[in-house]
Amino acid sequence: MTGRIEINPITRVEGHAKVTIDLDERGEVARARFHVLEFRGFEKLCEGRPFHEMPGIMARVCGICPVSHILASSKAGDRLLGIEVPPAAVLQRRLANYGQVLQSHALSFFHLSSPDLLLGMDADPRTRNLFGLVAQDPDFARRGIRLRQFGQRIIELVGGSRIHPSWSVPGGVARVLSSSACDELKGWLAEAYATVDIALTRLKQILDRHTEEVEHLGSFPSLFLGMVDDEGRLAYYDGRIRIVDAEGNVVADRLDPGRYAKYLDEASESWSFMKHAFYKPMGYPVGAYRVGPLARLNVATTAGTQRADRELREFKQRSSGAVCASFHYHLARLIEMLHAVEKIEELLDEPELKSHEIRAKAQLNRRQGIGAAEAPRGTLFHHYEVDDDGLIVRANLLIATLQNNAAINRAVEQAAKRFVRADGLQEGMLNRVEAAIRCFDPCLSCSTHALGQMPLSIEILDAAGTVVDRLARPDQV
């Protein structure tokens, strides 16, 4: 029998996707693919718009990490102006970026993945969600909600609103940060540290019970890519690109993000709206690489803050080379949250942060600008070309999740091969395939975006396309 199992839609991920699992004659998994089903075409729809509008338009690529898009976009705009951004604006942008990492990681861990991790992969799908967690462990759930709130509050106080703030612009930022705002934010720090600590302890405790998932939800060698500063420390706002291989050897270092097209490229396939990025010298598909929390911890020599460095040293001991288990994205995300809280504390003590000199003005001086930043899910590039009037003639976005596309596909296939059996199909098996995807915290809004709820039915077809078996989620029975 050959056949196909379809999981549609994938839930508790940001955006819409489905998985198809192809079976061979023996009913075993031959291939599995991750299909992204939504597309909005930002690279085209911005054509003809003034570059000053780009941060506002590009924020709408994604409501989860709008600040990352605003930053990459403003940085590309800074390049078009050819000016130096005032230090206070840089500090504000960094602060908002850490707020973003914090809120987005909190969302991924507490709201989306902890139902799998704490309630169980096989828990009742009707309650395997944030509200189920609220019922079972209200204190933990409330802490998660409040940690995300802290990240969002940073963005709100710095940028003026939580989602799509119109604040960072080519040349700097448009708002002065007040002392009272900084004081309020400092008041959140103790609770944030405590929550991250509790989450780290909880996650490490359950790792023992998840050895199968650690081994089979996307554990394989690959390249890893991320930005670091000149000392090899984590860098989210600016830095240079480093690539390491599975053994942890540095394959490339100090690459200029502004020249990304020299070493990174993309491939398109008909079965997904999400493209596949690859490292040019190795070609497609061999040059596939991973980005985001796991990749950043693998490329960084140190975190550069005390508490996160303690965790990072322990993390790096999990493998003699790079940590290759995608399940450890969760742990990496928590370590990054700890680092973000430390950096937020540091930044709030910078006197320059509240300076009124926040924006440099200039005419258009260049025809091409590239801006890059580390978004919660990985390295993000915005690339604009403008005409004499500053209107966009060409835009290219290289988005974090898209760079994980090949790895997500591999993880899905590995999980399907390990956990899915066509005879005796169970919901928990499929949830593990979805959990493999959740490790990466993919943002499909970014890489394209979302479709609504579709009925989940898993139909097993024979070679002639006839339905030989059908399985529905419990809520449908």
Partner 1 sequence: MDSQGLKPRLATIWLGGCSGCHMSFLDMDERLIDLALRVDLCSSPLVDVKEFPNVDVTLVEGAVANEAHVHELEIVRARSRIVVAFGDCAVTGNVTAMRNAFGVEDVLTRAYRSTSAVVVGVPDGADGMVPRLLPRVRPLHELVKVDYFLQGCPPSADEIYTFLNELLEGRTPTIRRFG
From the list partner 1, ligand SF4, none, partner contacted by residue 238 (C-beta under 5 to 8 A by kind): none
272 binds, among ligand SF4, partner 1, none (CB under 5 to 8 A by kind): partner 1
Asked if residue 281 binds partner 1 (CB under 8 A), the reply is: no
Which positions from 123 to 152 touch partner 1 by CB under 8 A, shown as an x/- string? --xx-xxxx--xx--x--xx--xx-xx--x
Q: Which stretch binds partner 1 (CB under 8 A): 73-81, 176-184, 269-277, 288-296?
A: 269-277
β pairing state of 289-290 and 223-228 = parallel
**Shortest reach from residue 351's CB to partner 1, in Å:** 31
CB-CB contact of 348 with 182 (8 Å): yes
| Residues constituting the chain | 477
d(CA 458, CA 100): 37
Per CB under 8 A, does 166 bind partner 1?
no
Out of 64, 71, 217, 303, the only residue in the binding site for partner 1 (CB under 8 A) is 64
Q: Residue 246 and residue 320: Cα distance in Å, rounded?
A: 10
- Asked if residue 159 binds partner 1 (CB under 8 A), the reply is no
What does 323 bind: partner 1, ligand SF4, none (CB cut-off 5 to 8 Å by kind)?
Answer: none
Distance CA 179, CA 101 (A): 23
By CB under 6 A, name the binding residues for ligand SF4. Answer: 60, 63, 163
Choosing from 28, 47, 215, 352, the residue that interacts with partner 1 (CB under 8 A) is 47
Binding characters for partner 1, 182-201, by CB under 8 A (x = yes): --------------------
Shortest Cβ distance from residue 425 to partner 1 (Å)? 15
Burial of 370 (0-12, 13-18, 19+ CB in 10 A): buried
Q: Could you tell me if 250 and 240 are in contact, meaning their C-beta atoms sit under 8 angstroms apart?
A: no
Between 59 and 460, name the residue whose CB sits nearer to ligand SF4. Answer: 59
What span, in angstroms and rounded, lies between the C-alpha atoms of 236 and 227?
Answer: 7
**String of contacts with partner 1 for each residue 423-442, x by CB under 8 A:** --------x-----------
Q: Which of 73, 114, 168, 272 binds partner 1 (CB under 8 A)?
A: 272
Using CB positions, name the residue nearest to ligand SF4. 60
Q: How far apart are CA 174 and CA 85, in angstroms?
A: 12
What are the contacts of 260-264 at 24+ separation with CB within 8 A?
260/370, 260/372, 260/381, 260/383, 260/398, 261/383, 264/398, 264/403
